[in-house]
Amino acid sequence: MTADQRAVFFDGIAEKWDGWEDLARLSQKLADGLAELGVRPDEKVLDVGCGTGNLTRALLAKLSPAGRVVAVDISPRMVEVARSKISDPRVSWHSEDARLLPLSDGAVDRVLCYSVWPHFEDRKAVAAELGRVLRPGGSLHVWHLASRHKINEIHAGAGEAIRRDTLPPVRETADLLADAGFRIATARESDAGYLVTAVKPER
């Protein structure tokens, strides 16, 4: 599927999305995960595939008044729903393709790809672009709060637009990011989730 077709698909489910989540439970799991990832109060964080803003909201709770979130999603309607929920001047909202981000080189301290990696058709191009906007020494996280098998099962039954959007084995993702010039700090998957943390080397 093309990026445009995925955008149409996610536009169509944007209003329903939060109804499929236990938002209180998700909020706690996201907060716990961000603490484990070591997000610091004054960081500028890129939330790629921000959807309806649940991770963005968790980030804002973690960040200080000096912290910032750049929230990006390919679905304009997902971004609209997120903006309707979150009114905070620390967030800038963008409906953009992850391969063409509206950011300068080295603009962010951290990149979070939460529940979005399967939907990138050209992951090499996305990895290159994320590496471009990340500062040297900054971290990129490919993160899911469910197992790879569960995610792939959900996508297989979710409709033509995303049924082939699969999450690869964690080692495959780690290898792709290593090939893109990142140093791999964490690569693990289990029934509880999936995480690859990759660090952009200092120059």
Is 92 in a helix, a strand, or coil? Answer: strand
Output the pLDDT for position 125. Answer: 98
At position 28, the amino acid (one-letter code) is Q
At position 44, the amino acid (one-letter code) is K
What is the percent of the chain with per-residue pLDDT over 70, rounded to a whole number?
Answer: 99
Q: CB of 45 within 8 A of CB of 110?
A: yes
* Residue that wins the pLDDT comparison between 129 and 1: 129
* Residue that wins the pLDDT comparison between 20 and 180: 180
Mean pLDDT of the region 156-168: 92
Residue 1 confidence (pLDDT) above 60: no
Question: Which distant-in-sequence residues (6+ apart) come within 8 Å of 76 by Cβ?
Answer: 7, 11, 95
Q: CB of 105 within 8 A of CB of 132?
A: yes
Residue 194 confidence (pLDDT) above 80: yes
Could you give the CA distance from residue 79 to residue 94 in angstroms, rounded to a whole number?
A: 7
Q: Structural domain of residue 40, as residue ranges?
A: 3-199
What is the percent of the chain with per-residue pLDDT over 90, rounded to a whole number?
Answer: 94
Output the pLDDT for position 4. Answer: 83
Could you give the CA distance from residue 54 to residue 109 in angstroms, rounded to a whole number?
A: 20
Residue 187 confidence (pLDDT) above 90: yes
In a 13 Å sphere around the CA of 101, the CA atoms on its Cβ side amount to 29
CA distances (Å), 98 to each of 89, 128, 141, 154, in order? 22, 10, 14, 23
CA distances (Å), 43 to each of 5, 63, 80, 110, 141, in order? 33, 7, 24, 7, 15
Count of structural domains, the chain: 1
Could you give the CA distance from residue 19 to residue 39 in angstroms, rounded to a whole number?
A: 28
Q: Where does the pLDDT of residue 132 fall: very low under 50, low under 70, confident under 90, or very high at 90 and above?
A: very high
Output the pLDDT for position 2. Answer: 64
**CATH number of the domain within which 166 lies:** 3.40.50.150
pTM: 0.96
Could you give the CA distance from residue 35 to residue 101 in angstroms, rounded to a whole number?
A: 26
22 burial level (CB within 10 Å; 0-12, 13-18, 19+): exposed
Mean pLDDT of the region 91-114: 97
Average per-residue pLDDT for the chain: 96
Could you give the CA distance from residue 48 to residue 97 in angstroms, rounded to a whole number?
A: 9
Residue 96 confidence (pLDDT) above 60: yes
Residue 186 confidence (pLDDT) above 70: yes
